[in-house]
């Protein structure tokens, strides 16, 4: 790793820590710009395995990047790029899945596509080479633009193969099927995210209030036992728990970011 790369990663981590403490649209957008290369790299790879334009995949990938920024916890010791890749790729694959199930090719285009295949074979025999789009369209009596639209629509309609290569490495390749998220892993990931949010909310409470909640709900102690441990009355324990839970509910509410004017 070069000194420049190390510096960029360090700056990115500092911004991620600042964002976790005080989220803002301006800071989030800065992080998006810093990590835009990661989105472009993944979009480039995925675009070679489908008919969707690279530009569309790139835009969808930014949504995944934003989600990763909002969910990343710098204290976990994980590289942000490793954390963000599944979110970015996942958004693209969801987009492709949804597009594949919603595209309806008009009957006329389906008929023209079938006829075009026959024309391609006939022209290839006649000309001695594979005809281009303009030659096929001319034989069909339509524009080259419409023929290309027909081919794209039909290709988008086909499901992606799970064996399609998404990433080619030196000694191995990664298939589309291997990048699909595991349902059990996703459930565990959501539980871990919930645990982290709960822990952050608890950390905002006054010491005795936090201790009362942890003893009652985590250690399953009675109010009386908790009162003896923290040196207050059982009634005070009950009041502290009620007030602490109300404060935690406020902390756990999604933060609404003010958009830039």
Q: What are the tens digits of pLDDT across the range 61-75?
A: 999 999 888 888 887
Cβ atoms 32, 12 nearer than 8 A:
no
- The CATH fold assigned to 105-180 is Arc Repressor Mutant, subunit A (1.10.10)
Report whether pLDDT(258) > 50.
no
CATH of domain 184-252: 1.10.10.10
Residue 92's nearest CA partner among 63, 130, 123 is: 63
Indicate the angle between helix axes 183-203 and 234-252, nearest 10 degrees.
Answer: 120
Task: Determine the 3-state secondary structure of 99 from DSSP.
Answer: helix
State pTM to two decimals: 0.41
- Domain 8-102 = CATH 3.30.450.20: no
Tokens 């009386």 belong to which residue? 224
Position with higher pLDDT, 250 vs 99: 250
pLDDT band for 260, please (50, 70, 90 cuts): very low
Q: Residues spanned by CATH 1.10.10.10 within the chain? A: 105-180, 184-252
| Tens digit of each residue's pLDDT (9 = 90 or more) over 126-175 | 888 899 999 999 999 999 888 888 887 777 655 555 555 545 544 555 55
Euclidean distance between CA atoms 19 and 7, whole angstroms? 18
Task: Determine the 3-state secondary structure of 261 from DSSP.
Answer: coil
Neighbours of 70 (CB within 10 A): 16
């Amino acid at each position: 790793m070069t000194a420049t790369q190390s510096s960029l990663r360090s700056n990115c981590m500092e911004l991620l820590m600042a964002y976790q403490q005080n989220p803002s649209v301006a800071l989030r957008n800065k992080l998006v710009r810093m990590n835009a290369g990661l989105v472009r790299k993944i979009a480039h790879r995925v675009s070679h395995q489908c008919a969707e334009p690279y530009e569309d995949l790139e835009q969808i990938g930014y949504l995944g990047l934003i989600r990763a920024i909002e969910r990343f916890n710098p204290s976990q010791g994980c590289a942000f790029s490793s954390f963000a890749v599944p979110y970015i790729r996942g958004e693209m694959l969801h987009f492709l899945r949804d597009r594949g199930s919603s595209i309806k090719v008009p009957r006329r285009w389906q008929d023209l596509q079938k006829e075009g295949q026959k024309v391609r074979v006939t022209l290839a025999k006649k000309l001695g080479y594979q005809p281009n789009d303009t030659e096929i369209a001319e034989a069909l009596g339509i524009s080259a633009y419409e023929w290309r639209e027909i081919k794209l629509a039909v290709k988008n309609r086909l499901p992606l193969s799970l064996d399609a290569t998404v990433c080619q490495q030196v000694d191995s390749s990664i298939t589309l099927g291997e990048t699909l998220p595991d349902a059990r892993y996703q459930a565990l990931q959501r539980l871990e995210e919930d645990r982290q949010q709960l822990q952050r909310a608890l950390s905002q409470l006054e010491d005795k209030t936090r201790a009362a909640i942890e003893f009652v709900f985590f250690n399953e102690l009675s109010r009386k036992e908790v009162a003896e441990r923290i040196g207050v009355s059982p009634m005070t324990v009950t009041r502290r728990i009620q007030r602490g839970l109300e404060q935690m509910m406020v902390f756990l509410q999604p933060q609404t970011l003010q958009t830039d004017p």
